[in-house]
Structure 1
Amino acid sequence: MPLAQASAAARAAAARLAGSNARAPAARALLRAAAWPPAPDAGSSGRPSWAPPRRPAALVARGLSRSCAAAAVPVSHSTRTADADAATLRALFDAPTSAHGSTSTSSAAPNTGLFRLPSLKSPADFPALAQRTLLRAQLLVSRIERAPQHGEREMAEVVRMLDRLSDTLCGVIDAAELVRNAHPDPEWVQAANEAYEGLCGYMNVLNTHTGLYQVVSQVLSDPKLCASLSEEALSVAIVFQRDFEKSGIHLPPASRARFVDLSDELLVLGRKFLSAQPGGTTHALPQEWLAGVPGPVGSALASVPRRNGALQIPAGGWEAQTILKYAPDERARQTAFAALNGAPKDQVDTLEELLRRRADLADLTGSESFAELTLSDKMAKRPENVTEFLAALSEHHCPRVQRNLDELRALKRRELTGKDSGPLPSFNAWDRDYYATQHLRSASLQSSTRPIAPFYSVGTVFAGLSKLFERLYGLRFRAAQTQHGEVWAPDVHRIEVVNEDNEAVGTVYADLYAREEKPPSAAHYTVRCSRRTDADDLHGDFQFGALPDGTRLSERDYAEEARPLEAESFPVRGKEGKYQLPTVVLLCDFVRPSSETGPSLLNWAEVETLFHEMGHALHSMLGRTEYHNVSGTRCATDFVELPSILMEHFVSCPTVVGLVASHHATSAALPYSALEAHLAAARSLESLDTHHQVLLALLDQHYHSRAASDPAFDSTAALCALHNERGVMPGVPGVAAQAHFGHLFGYGATYYSYLFDRAIASRVWAKLFQANPLDREAGEKFKSHVLVHGGGRDPWEMLAEVLEDDSIARGDNKAMQTVGRWGIADVGVEARR
């Protein structure tokens, strides 16, 4: 989740909870990763030109594990139990369901609470839970502040206490975030909103808490204490210190106050930018310019209002998108392009003010630019390194991009001249969608693609994922009966993740089908992280902690009033202590199965989406880190997408297709030739998409450089110049398409991350899995070197180990260039070579 930022409402709620009037800047240090997707996931095909990478969760998180079973690799990985579990999963997900009605358990049964948490049986429980959480957090804050007074033993526990403080707050915040986005009951949503805003506001207050910062800095400045910390604990301590400093806590009082003001301004500007509408501007398009459009398109456009015989094309609407794809007349496409990509002046002004304020914030902290400030704790480290990566990646793909472009220019030549030879015509931004549509239609006809959706019901895909994980990692899914009050909608399924000894590893709640009140997107929510719990020392909170006014509380009298959210813990074979098991939620928007229409059948983009989100879930499940702050997907923004993108390579390789794809009615296997033809058509222009993403990443870096501080800065002119200098189609003067680039807010200076992880995933796939995608030894290697560590180790070191490539271990500019030169493989193509 992007680091929580306090709105006025959140600060007011925090004041009500905490009795505090403190103002809060952007939160960093304590809320590392409540799973809030900054934008919907997009499928890999049909992605709008300004669509994001597939989520930096959902997600994904800023700072959003060890193996649960350190056993020898078994000889056989397919058991009768696993096969039976897979069959049950298929039947469960393909059975008719309803968005409304009773669950399978009786409402007369005892209410277990959401996620089987007794503290969340009704909406009225959220305020009480928030109050208890706040009280426990206040005791922890006081205990950490006083640690230097109580000697070496308490100081040695400071990192754990800070992490537990974060986990105490995030446990409620993460649950509330899911509820307020997915629950169909408005009372639950309102209660979750209030708890979320109140606790986030309090957390934001803590992010300017000089006492906490001073104590963690004292720990890190003590060589003896540092030597006593594990590598993971030291990583957590450094994360806390860095994130406190990113909140301006180390600044003088006046500068810190200015930091708070700027953070508040940025929040307001960001929300204004994201909520801006296209506006009432229309573009006139003469009817005769639509000559030659297909009949159904013409019929659809017949409803468009007219004035003086010309269609009035609204800004940003479906009408412009349709004309760009299907109008042979270039004048019509140029008009539609302006309608689709233009923006009102006030929207552009909002963006530019946002960029200036970010530059001011960076200057206040002593950073050269906002990009430099943001990248300091990422794999890239510095803006120059991002530029090196993008340059190397662009050079690697240049020949393929040019071939793609020339294919489209050849189509334009044939349409203009009727010839297949001669000079290629010029090609403009408004030509791309039209000729890409022609190209894909031609590719589809030539390859004789057949429908593949009947082979990809939700049940078959889910069962296939279980089989894949069982072969690679020794994990499988097992359907579990939901209890009364456990889930928020009757079609939400509880899936237990178990290992080969049938030991519980974690829980996945699958909320996969469309409802009116659900977000129309895919997301992975981490409701609970893995974390060691037996060393928490809850008694010490009362012994050493106090309320903000100094009042000491008796554990005997206040144990219930300060009771944290429940978290059942279990021993883990091969590890010391007890750990809470991770709980994640997968939200999708698939068509609901019914008795009339049959099971939910997925198109290819939806299949990829489910695999992608399962990559995030796998990352969460395999974690057994001692600390919540580095568990699973709580790692660097430019590393978090690696496991999920790697899953996209598996989805289209022949051996995995054999596990996953079977006809929902006959169980017949999908002929791989059908999928191969489909992929060849759908991805025939993928290099152009990659090039476009490179341009967006370069634009993001430019906007967050020192350029934004120049009073003459013009974001529209900068966009046009970038296309003229680095693009394959000339820029369009005066068209402010950047105003539709919403991820300039959520992904400011980190938009390169998805491309970066795509390149890394391509390399991991080629080195470990391409030759044998079901190789258990390769799976164990990726698990033990990457997945189990979350954010607890330097990602460059993890990659160097798993790839056996010491040249990238330092993570410097040469390493970034190396990743760029790896390039991005066409997913699903290299497996067939």
Structure 2
Amino acid sequence: MTNPLLAPWTTPFEMPPFGGMSDEDFGPALEQGMEEGRAAYAAIAANPEPPSFDNTIEAMERADATLDRVAGVFYNLAGADSTPAREALQREMAPKLSAYSSEITNNKALFSRIETIWNQRDNLDLTEEQQRVLMLTRRGFVRAGAALEGAAAERLTEVKSRLATLGTQFAQNLLADERNWFMDLSEADMEGLPDFVKDTARAAGKERDRPGAVVTLNRSLIVPFLQFSPRRDLREKAYEAWTARGANGGETDNRDIATEILKLREERANLLGYDSFAAYKLEPEMAGTPEAVRDLLMKVWEPAKTAALADAEHLSRMATADGITGPLEPWDWRYYAEKRRVELHDLDETELKPFFQLDRMIEAQFACANRLFGLEFAPLDIEVYHPDVRAWEVTRDGKHLAVFLGDYFARSSKRSGAWCSAMRSQSALDGEVRPIVVNVCNFAKGDPALLSYDDARTLFHEFGHALHQMLSDVTYQSISGTSVARDFVELPSQLYEHWLEVPEVLAEFATHAETGEAMPEALRDRLLRAATYDMGFATVEYVASALVDLAFHDGPAPADPMQRQAEVLETIEMPRAIRMRHATPHFAHVFAGDGYSSGYYSYMWSEVMDADAFAAFEEKGDPFDAELARKLEESILSTGGSRDAAELYTAFRGRLPGVEALLKGRGLDDAA
């Protein structure tokens, strides 16, 4: 029988044939995609015609059509709805796909054609976009080792294959720890918890086939438990389990994996002629150098630490008043910070949460996209990969732009966190291809599903990434959507969060789950005034992680990453009651692949721009200013990686920003 993944997709919008495929179809389809790719690249390399942009670069853009199509589906499902079969196939395919990639970049005849075109580029009458694709293609080959010969080339291939295997194992170990740990809660254990936390814990117990309520390591459950549980012993147990992910000994322990990954990354960089992996990784980014990254992080670290230490004094006094004789501990911070928020801002999560219904917040993100960019969202009744997934068609002026999938609820088969990906990316090389974009979150189920304010920000954040994909308008898939510098990719997502804070958006969409009434203006004002509350804590835990990531990669690989982590935290004088947001054994951004390795700083680099970019709307006095929205789309959201990131931002704002807007936005300017 024909593999449904390889047959033409005759579904609406050429969606993946979710109803007709099985896990057994993916392996053969991925293998077939690689075989077709090998044949295509071999034909390009052996082409007797002189190298040209058309017969080499554009031909390469087409070469992986089948592999891209199948992998786009498989890796989305592997992250959002894992099964043992999918995990096994991930482990099997990681070294195979790495070897396939190395075959291409090690093809000397192919690289020679690229070099010939590169050397002739000034005489080829290429468009600006074609020049960019040529530069990125050549740079990608060079950075992958195409210029290496002999033993060095062979060793680099081995290193990359091993890194692919280790990254997959790191991610699967983390998922296993998150899936396997839970803490049963009796009714007495839940005394003092708000009803929404109890309901979430009971639903988690049902999902785990437990007789009652449980706490799991899912952020949407464990964070509110830490905020509200008066049981310090249970907070400690849950917190320590949460922060011990990947460091529990046995088969799922990630510490040795992290050590080997760092050593192999250093070797990879050295083989390519770089002093460190950080120097290699940061070369094509906006930051450019480890020194520039460290300078930004330290400019933020000192005022953030000052603010956090001042907050710690207040929280310690509250703990002492509760009879705690020892120092404030990390499992105490959220509990007393929540109490203090009530005192300072008369703001209680239990009062807020009914106003943040998931469905209403989805409406809000769509409405903002409509006012800014003219997008319309119509629900679709089509086959999807899980019953929780919802689908919409995205149009503008009646023209189809994208299919958008929302997969919002936590489940044990889904890795933690939130992300945006594309099952199909936009391109126009052989006719217009419109994207299939997926937002994945881990919110707690409910009837209705209620979000925290931070959850709502996450929803808007991921939708900002989705807009970057949906509005993409380039010719070549390799530069479409979010295919931009790592420290630029978070700009659209973090910028879009600002529209959640617009008073008129909250006034319309923050309606009470039971009464339907709009959030009272006084409550809304208190919420917005408290926007920077506890920002010292949030900034310290983030920047500490970014500094540790940088230290791992800027210089020789540490023999013991855990010791190196401890040394960095001691050097920067990490407040004792705050821990890194992502300790090494569960730092998936850095070790489950190298996307954010030596690049976790990029959220803050992008925040410098997003704070400045939204200030442009504030200066206009209208968060929905049509001219600025058009400029944002034309300069950033539609352009993908077709131009240098600094050029794109300057085209929108007229200049590059400084750190001042970021510090002001985080409420840290007074502490600077």
- The two structures have a TM-score, normalised by structure 2, of 0.78
Provide the residue aligned with 1:726 in structure 2: 572
Report deviation, 1:142: 2.9
Distance 2:148 2:281 in 1: 17
Residue 374 (1) aligns with residue 271 (2) = no
Report deviation, 1:385: 1.6
Structure 2: which amino acid aligns with 1:497?
A: V
Provide the residue aligned with 1:409 in structure 2: 313
Provide the residue aligned with 2:49 in structure 1: 150
Provide the residue aligned with 1:750 in structure 2: 599
Report deviation, 1:122: 3.1
Q: Is the 8 A contact 2:287 2:293 kept in 1?
A: yes
Aligned counterparts, 1:253-292, within 5 A: 253-271=150-168
Cα offsets for 1:592-616 (capped at 9, x unmatched) = 56xxx4x333232322222111111
Q: Is the 8 A contact 2:285 2:486 kept in 1?
A: yes
Distance 2:96 2:278 in 1: 30
Report deviation, 1:654: 0.4
Provide the residue aligned with 1:621 in structure 2: 470
Cα offsets for 1:17-60 (capped at 9, x unmatched) = 9xxxxxxxxxxxxxxxxxxxxxxxxxxxxxxxxxxxxxxxxxxx
Residue 662 (1) aligns with residue 662 (2) = no
* Structure 1 counterpart of 2:144, from 239, 247, 272: 247
Residue 584 (1) aligns with residue 584 (2) = no
SS in 1 for 2:378: strand
Structure 2 unaligned segments of length 5 or more: list them.
178-188, 199-216
Provide the residue aligned with 2:358 in structure 1: 458
Structure 1 unaligned segments of length 5 or more: list them.
1-16, 18-109, 280-292, 301-315, 419-425, 535-577, 809-817
Residue 532 (1) aligns with residue 432 (2) = no
Deviates more, 1:156-165 or 1:647-656: 156-165
Q: 1:658 to 1:829 in 2, by over 3 A?
A: farther
* Structure 2 counterpart of 1:208, from 95, 100, 106: 106
Report deviation, 1:324: 11
Distance 2:78 2:625 in 1: 41
Aligned counterparts, 1:652-801, within 5 A: 652-664=501-513, 666-678=515-527, 680=529, 683-708=532-557, 713-729=559-575, 738-745=584-591, 746=593, 747-769=596-618, 771-801=621-651
Bigger Rg, structure 1 or 2: 1
Q: 1:427 to 1:645 in 2, by over 3 A?
A: farther
% identity of equivalent residues: 25
Q: Is the 8 A contact 2:40 2:63 kept in 1?
A: yes
Q: Is the 8 A contact 2:307 2:668 kept in 1?
A: no
Report deviation, 1:200: 6.5
Compute the RMSD of aligned alpha carbons.
4.4
Distance 2:84 2:547 in 1: 42
Report deviation, 1:196: 8.8
SS in 2 for 1:786: helix
Distance 2:326 2:57 in 1: 58
Distance 1:328 1:586 in 2: 35
Residue 608 (1) aligns with residue 504 (2) = no
Provide the residue aligned with 1:78 in structure 2: none
Cα offsets for 1:436-480 (capped at 9, x unmatched) = 532321321451536233333333222222221111111121223
Q: Which has the higher helix share?
A: 2
SS in 2 for 1:454: helix
SS in 1 for 2:432: strand
Residue 237 (1) aligns with residue 237 (2) = no
Cα offsets for 1:714-772 (capped at 9, x unmatched) = 54443333333323536999xx9544434331432111111111221111111234632
Q: 1:454 to 1:646 in 2, by over 3 A?
A: same
Structure 1: which amino acid aligns with 2:550?
A: Q
Q: Is the 8 A contact 2:393 2:403 kept in 1?
A: yes
Q: Which has the higher contact order (CA 8 A, sep 6+)?
A: 1
Distance 2:584 2:98 in 1: 31
- The two structures have a TM-score, normalised by structure 1, of 0.64
Distance 1:473 1:827 in 2: 27
Report deviation, 1:223: 3.5
Deviates more, 1:736-745 or 1:699-708: 736-745
Distance 2:503 2:475 in 1: 38
SS in 2 for 1:579: coil
Distance 2:16 2:255 in 1: 48
Structure 2: which amino acid aligns with 1:408?
A: A
Q: 1:326 to 1:508 in 2, by over 3 A?
A: closer
Distance 2:238 2:93 in 1: 48
SS in 2 for 1:802: helix
Q: 1:196 to 1:338 in 2, by over 3 A?
A: closer
SS in 2 for 1:662: coil
Provide the residue aligned with 1:804 in structure 2: 654
Distance 1:197 1:113 in 2: 32
Distance 1:161 1:605 in 2: 45
- The count of aligned residue pairs is 612
Structure 2: which amino acid aligns with 1:440?
A: E
Q: Is the 8 A contact 1:584 1:617 kept in 2?
A: yes
Q: Is the 8 A contact 1:184 1:488 kept in 2?
A: no
Distance 2:326 2:136 in 1: 48
Report deviation, 1:172: 1.9
Distance 2:116 2:228 in 1: 61
Distance 1:339 1:517 in 2: 17
Cα offsets for 1:60-83 (capped at 9, x unmatched) = xxxxxxxxxxxxxxxxxxxxxxxx
Distance 1:516 1:496 in 2: 28
Report deviation, 1:706: 1.8
Q: Is the 8 A contact 1:639 1:753 kept in 2?
A: yes
Report deviation, 1:646: 0.9
